[in-house]
Amino acid sequence: MAQQTTAPQGQNDSFELKEGQINIFTNQKRENDTQPHYWGKLMINGVEKRVSLWKNVGKSGNPYLGGQVQDYQPKEDAPQSSAIQSAIADVDSDNGSFM
pLDDT tens-digit series, residues 43-91: 999 999 999 999 999 999 999 999 999 998 877 755 544 444 333 333 3
Long-range contacts of 46-55 (CB under 8 A, 24+ apart): 46/1, 46/19, 47/71, 47/72, 48/3, 48/5, 48/17, 48/72, 51/22, 51/24, 52/84, 52/86, 53/24, 54/86, 54/88, 55/99
pLDDT at 74: 76
Which has more pLDDT, 89 or 34? 34
pTM for the predicted model, two decimal places: 0.62
Long-range contacts of 4-8 (CB under 8 A, 24+ apart): 5/41, 5/48, 8/39
Quick one: which of 80, 58, 56, 77 has its CA closest to 66? 56
